[in-house]
A and B are shown apart, each in its own frame.
Chain A
């Protein structure tokens, strides 16, 4: 199965001397095979975990303060602890439904190193007493499906998955589950609904955490692919080795995809917490600057849902709290870069269209509001909008996210930052995601929106002239 996946990311990937925790095998063309996995320390972490016992293993993960890599950044060990005592069975659902605009990391981890994900899932099951694992992979990722199916078949055959793993009393099935195309299913309760064979709509909260009430009403841990891919390292090398990389509040590494108008777009494993956006966008070992040496206009720091940053924010490190204080979020590790040639309203339109299209329809503010935002923005971009339409955007947004909205500071506009997060009138983040990036684009680049608006006098004069003639 040769597929053109060896791209530029591998070129930059091995430049520089950065630690590789989850991408250590990416340099091998056969990184997805069991042979390669076993010859490069594969399943050592699980072996260690089995020796250590579940309590010690759970303690290691807690001590590592590994933060969830799906978007919310919640500590994985703490999440596991939310499972109620004595309630069985408990399940693991692996969230491989990566579809946030700009995000491209989980698919790579699934395609290039499926055994690492399987091992990580098994370690989680062992430590948290989860008796079955469902690997929910986005339907549109055919190659990832194939690679994981092959990896699971090999792992079952060799006794790494299934009954009596490595001859112990640890027995867990890992079931590959196929998604079928719905962004909202990345929300953990929607993921569970989908896994139960229902329409993938988020569940009403409370209960807030599937760890308490999840799949079939049972305690269920939902973890992102990248989060679990870190566990073999933590199990085999220990939490101290893990926390020695990155910062105290953001230990380890992160997979970041940088796309858009940069010279060398790619996926990189960066040191968490200390690497700045300037390093990523301009650094020699990363993206090497803006294409054609243009000026940077704006960038999305954390996936399509995130409010935008300006060149003013380049020196902010890739650290959750700092990004939040500056008016955005790190989300799922996706940076999208816009150079000086970018038409800002058009760029915002591509995101608003995405979220309007992906609304599941459960909450009115998202279902109706997202579509309204899209229609208004289409009117702006096609030159048919009025001044009032720009304020209308803010009014519709207010019904999705009441109160102050996060946005970045701008020296040019004399604007202070409004920090994350926002309030919301919807169950999940799809609704606010249609508005948050648009709100920040409109706040930071209102002049560009106004330039597309039909000037009021001209608009009024036409019907008057017709009426008088």
Chain B
């Protein structure tokens, strides 16, 4: 029951159309399926294989390489505490210990109510704002233990619903290319000529 919904299939076709080869849409579609179900289900992977005309093994082969894809249910909020150098220099270890005791779980696991998953993460490109963490890939900067407690309470009470959507939702908006502006993405094998704006002599400027 966790194949893509009809409306997501429409979206999937829109995404596939943007790539010269279908398989390029695989990672975006894995995100789409994760957004629908909170994680990537077996049925969804089979469905993606059908949509992209590849085998389910190819889908899982790619999907398992990437850390953002989860293959079993995770918390509504996935909390990633950065552990790399800049954050470590400014106390990420202590923050992680605090997070574990506050949530009553070890890094890598989910609270029994299914609300929070805690993970140790690598560099989140916010090094000047250390220590940092992300909740569903939304940054929180210079996090103190008090900030952490407050954040957990706010998440529990729904106070951050506007800012932080449930796990799986990557962006709260999406790129849409209007049909009349879409140039198209032909397979490279079907293209022989240079683009219209390029004089035939260009290309030898090395």
Q: Please give, as numbers and ranges, the residues of chain B lying within 8 Å of A145 by CB-CB distance.
A: 170-171
Task: Indicate the member of A62, A257, A338 with the most B CB atoms within 10 Å.
Answer: A257
Question: Is the pair B66, A182 in contact by a Cβ cutoff of 8 Å?
Answer: yes
Question: Is the pair A171, B89 in contact by a Cβ cutoff of 8 Å?
Answer: no
A139's nearest neighbour on chain B, judged by CB, is B68
> Interface 1/0s, chain B 176-192, versus A by CB < 8 A?
11101111111010011
Write the nearest CB–CB distance from A15 to chain B, whole angstroms.
16
Q: Please give, as numbers and ranges, the residues of chain A lying within 8 Å of B3 by CB-CB distance.
A: none
Question: Is the pair A180, B66 in contact by a Cβ cutoff of 8 Å?
Answer: yes
Q: Please give, as numbers and ranges, the residues of chain B lying within 8 Å of A103 by CB-CB distance.
A: 123, 125, 127
Q: Does A196 contact B (CB under 8 A)?
A: yes
Question: Is the pair B202, A54 in contact by a Cβ cutoff of 8 Å?
Answer: yes
Complex Cα gap A88–B203 (Å): 10
Question: Is the pair B89, A338 in contact by a Cβ cutoff of 8 Å?
Answer: yes
With A7-B141, A257-B128: A181-B67 Cβ-Cβ less than 8 Å:
yes
Question: Is the pair B130, A265 in contact by a Cβ cutoff of 8 Å?
Answer: yes
Write the nearest CB–CB distance from A118 to chain B, whole angstroms.
11
Complex Cα gap A355–B125 (Å): 15
Q: Please give, as numbers and ranges, the residues of chain A lying within 8 Å of B178 by CB-CB distance.
A: 156-157, 162
With A129-B194, A336-B85, A354-B122: A139-B128 Cβ-Cβ less than 8 Å:
no
Task: Indicate the member of A197, A266, A357 with the most B CB atoms within 10 Å.
Answer: A197
With A88-B194, A139-B66, A162-B177: A347-B183 Cβ-Cβ less than 8 Å:
no
Question: Is the pair B195, A88 in contact by a Cβ cutoff of 8 Å?
Answer: yes
Q: Does A152 contact B (CB under 8 A)?
A: yes
Question: Is the pair B188, A163 in contact by a Cβ cutoff of 8 Å?
Answer: no
Question: Is the pair A177, B137 in contact by a Cβ cutoff of 8 Å?
Answer: no
* Interface residue from B30, B130, B197 paired with A259 (Cβ < 8 Å): B130
Write the nearest CB–CB distance from B175 to chain A, whole angstroms.
5
Question: Is the pair A163, B68 in contact by a Cβ cutoff of 8 Å?
Answer: no
With A142-B137, A259-B128: A102-B86 Cβ-Cβ less than 8 Å:
yes
- Per DSSP, are chain B's interface residues mostly helix, strand or loop, or mixed? loop
B191's nearest neighbour on chain A, judged by CB, is A89
Complex Cα gap A277–B130 (Å): 21
With A88-B191, A102-B86: A54-B127 Cβ-Cβ less than 8 Å:
no
With A142-B170, A357-B122: A350-B202 Cβ-Cβ less than 8 Å:
no
* Interface residue from A104, A132, A175 paired with B126 (Cβ < 8 Å): A104
B130's nearest neighbour on chain A, judged by CB, is A259
With A139-B66, A175-B175, A304-B84: A88-B192 Cβ-Cβ less than 8 Å:
yes
Complex Cα gap A353–B25 (Å): 31
Q: Does B159 contact A (CB under 8 A)?
A: no
Chain B residues at the A interface, C-beta cutoff of 8 Å: 18-21, 23-28, 30-31, 52, 54, 61-62, 65-69, 80, 83-86, 88-90, 122-130, 134, 136-141, 163, 170-178, 180-186, 188, 191-199, 202-206
- 18 new A-B contacts, CB < 8 A, other than A1-B172, A143-B139, A260-B90, are A53-B199, A58-B205, A83-B206, A88-B191, A104-B129, A139-B31, A142-B137, A145-B171, A170-B196, A170-B197, A175-B19, A177-B24, A183-B123, A216-B21, A259-B127, A347-B88, A350-B84, A350-B85
Chain A residues at the B interface, C-beta cutoff of 8 Å: 1-4, 7-9, 53-55, 58-59, 62, 78, 80-86, 88-89, 98-104, 106-107, 126, 129-132, 138-143, 145-146, 148-150, 152-153, 156-157, 159, 161-163, 168-173, 175-183, 194-201, 216-218, 257-261, 265-267, 300, 304, 334, 336, 338, 342, 346-347, 350-351, 353-354, 357-358, 360
